[in-house]
Amino acid sequence: MKDSTRLLLIGLGALAVVGAGWGIFSRLHREEAPPVLTTATGVEGTAAFPITFFPERHEQFSAQACRACHEDAFQDWLPSDHAHANRPVSVALDAPAFDPPREIAVPGETFGFTLADGKFWMKVQPDDGGDAERYALEGVIAVIPLRQYLARLPGGRWQSTSVAYDPAADEWFDVFKGDERHSGEWGHWAGQGMNWNANCAWCHMTEYQKNFDWQSDSYHTTWLEQGVSCMQCHTGMEEHVAAAGPDYAPPVKTLSARRAMENCASCHSRRDQLTPDTFKPGDIYHQHFALALPDQPGLYHPDGQILDEDYVYASFLMSPMGHAGVTCLDCHNPHSGKTILPIADNSLCMRCHSTGLDGAKIIDTVAHGHHAPGSMGNSCVECHMPQTTYMQRDPRRDHGFLSPDPLMTAELGIPNACQRCHTEESTEWAVEWAEKWYGDKLANKLQRQRARTLAAAYAGEPAAAQSLLQLAADEPNHAWRATYTGLLGYYVPQADVLAYLEKALEDDSSMVRARAVGGLSRLPQAEPVIAPRLKDPSRNVRIAAEQAYAGWGQSVPDAEAAQEWQAYLEFQSDRVMGAFMLADQKIREGDTAQAKQLIRQAVALDSASPEILRQGAVMYSMMGDNAAAEQLLQQALDKAPEVALLHYSLALLYAGQGQLEEAIPLLENAVSLDPHFYRAWYNLALARTKIGQWQKAAYALEKAAPAYANDPGWQQTRAIVERQLANGGR
Q: What type of residue is 450?
A: R
How wide is the angle at C-alpha 245 spanned by C-alphas 241 and 249, nearest 5°? 70
DSSP calls for 668-715: HHHHHH-TT-HHHHHHHHHHHHHTT-HHHHHHHHHHHHHHHTT-HHHH
Q: What is the pLDDT of residue 269?
A: 98
Using pLDDT thresholds of 50, 70 and 90, give the confidence band for residue 248.
Answer: confident
Using pLDDT thresholds of 50, 70 and 90, give the confidence band for residue 40.
Answer: low
Q: What is the pLDDT of residue 38?
A: 56
pLDDT tens-digit map of 64-104:
999 989 999 999 999 999 999 999 999 999 999 999 999 99
pLDDT tens-digit map of 390-412:
999 999 999 999 999 999 999 99
Secondary structure class of 106 (helix, strand, coil): strand
Q: What is the pLDDT of residue 45?
A: 67
Q: How far apart are CA 687 and CA 683, in angstroms?
A: 6
Q: What is the pLDDT of residue 108?
A: 94
In 25-152, where does DSSP find H-type helix?
A: 55-61, 63-67, 71-77, 91-98
Q: What is the pLDDT of residue 176?
A: 94
Is residue 649's pLDDT more than 60?
yes
Report phi then psi at 524, rounded to 5. -55, -30
pLDDT tens-digit map of 490-507:
999 999 999 999 999 999
Mark 412-447 as b/e (b = at least 16 C-beta within 10 Å).
Answer: bebbbbbbebeeeeebeebbeebeeebeeebeebeb
Q: What is the pLDDT of residue 1?
A: 32
Q: What is the pLDDT of residue 15?
A: 38
Secondary structure class of 364 (helix, strand, coil): coil
Report phi then psi at 154, rounded to 5. -60, 160
Is residue 26's pLDDT more than 70?
no
Region 275-297: mean pLDDT is 97
Mark 601-617 as b/e (b = at least 16 C-beta within 10 Å).
Answer: bbbbbbbbbbbbbbbbb
Is residue 222's pLDDT more than 90?
yes
Q: How far apart are CA 230 and CA 649, in angstroms?
A: 53
Beta bridge partners of 389: 395
Q: If we measure between CA atoms, which residue out of 198, 194, 191, 192 comes closest to residue 276?
A: 198
Q: How far apart are CA 24 and CA 438, in angstroms?
A: 48
Q: What is the pLDDT of residue 129?
A: 87
Least confident segment among 47-51, 536-540, 725-729:
47-51
Within 10 angstroms of residue 588's Cβ, the number of other Cβ atoms is: 14
Q: How far apart are CA 282 and CA 288, in angstroms?
A: 12
Helices (H) and strands (E) in the chain, counts: 33, 17
Q: How far apart are CA 572 and CA 444, in angstroms?
A: 44
Q: What is the pLDDT of residue 30?
A: 28
Q: How far apart are CA 533 and CA 542, in angstroms?
A: 6
* CA distances from residue 82 to 77, 233, 255 in whole angstroms, order as listed: 7, 11, 19
Q: If we measure between CA atoms, which residue out of 478, 540, 548 comes closest to residue 514?
A: 540
Q: How far apart are CA 312 and CA 489, in angstroms?
A: 25
Percent of the chain surpassing pLDDT 90: 89
Q: Which region, left, alpha or beta, applies to residue 283 given φ > 0 means left and ψ of -120 to 50 means alpha?
A: beta
Cβ contact 189:200 at 8 Å = no
Using pLDDT thresholds of 50, 70 and 90, give the confidence band for residue 247.
Answer: confident
Which residue segments constitute the domains of the chain, with CATH numbers given?
55-243 (no CATH), 641-730 (1.25.40.10)
How wide is the angle at C-alpha 288 spanned by C-alphas 159 and 562, nearest 5°? 100
Is residue 5's pLDDT more than 80?
no
Q: What is the pLDDT of residue 165?
A: 98
Q: How far apart are CA 684 and CA 5, in angstroms?
A: 13
Secondary structure class of 44 (helix, strand, coil): strand
Percent of the chain surpassing pLDDT 70: 94
Q: How far apart are CA 595 and CA 16, in angstroms?
A: 21
CA 697, distance to chain mean position in Å, is 44
Mean per-residue pLDDT over the chain, rounded: 92
**DSSP secondary structure code for residue 569 in this structure:** H
Beta bridge partners of 149: 140
Q: Provide long-range contacts, Cβ within 8 A and 24+ apart, for 273-280.
A: 273/18, 273/202, 273/571, 273/572, 274/539, 274/540, 274/543, 274/568, 275/539, 275/567, 275/568, 275/571, 276/209, 276/210, 276/567, 276/570, 276/571, 277/202, 277/208, 277/209, 277/210, 280/235
Q: How far apart are CA 222 and CA 245, in angstroms?
A: 30
Q: The whole model's pTM is what?
A: 0.91
Region 642-650: mean pLDDT is 98
Q: How far apart are CA 501 and CA 488, in angstroms?
A: 8
* CA distances from residue 61 to 195, 221, 581, 629 in whole angstroms, order as listed: 28, 19, 38, 52
Cβ contact 553:588 at 8 Å = yes
Cβ contact 414:303 at 8 Å = yes
Beta bridge partners of 613: none
CA 63, distance to chain mean position in Å, is 31
Secondary structure class of 373 (helix, strand, coil): coil
Q: What is the pLDDT of residue 545?
A: 98
Cβ contact 501:519 at 8 Å = yes
* CA distances from residue 656 to 432, 610, 661, 678, 712 in whole angstroms, order as listed: 62, 21, 12, 19, 22
Is residue 425's pLDDT more than 50?
yes
Query: How long a stretch of residues is the chain?
Result: 730
Using pLDDT thresholds of 50, 70 and 90, give the confidence band for residue 358.
Answer: confident
pLDDT tens-digit map of 679-696:
999 999 999 999 999 999
Q: How far apart are CA 659 and CA 73, in angstroms?
A: 73
Cβ contact 501:520 at 8 Å = yes
Is residue 167's pLDDT more than 60?
yes
Q: What is the pLDDT of residue 91?
A: 93
Q: What type of residue is 107?
A: P
* CA distances from residue 35 to 48, 56, 205 in whole angstroms, order as listed: 10, 11, 18
Q: If we measure between CA atoms, which residue out of 221, 218, 201, 223 comes closest to residue 27?
A: 221
pLDDT tens-digit map of 529-558:
999 999 999 999 999 999 999 999 999 999
Secondary structure class of 135 (helix, strand, coil): strand
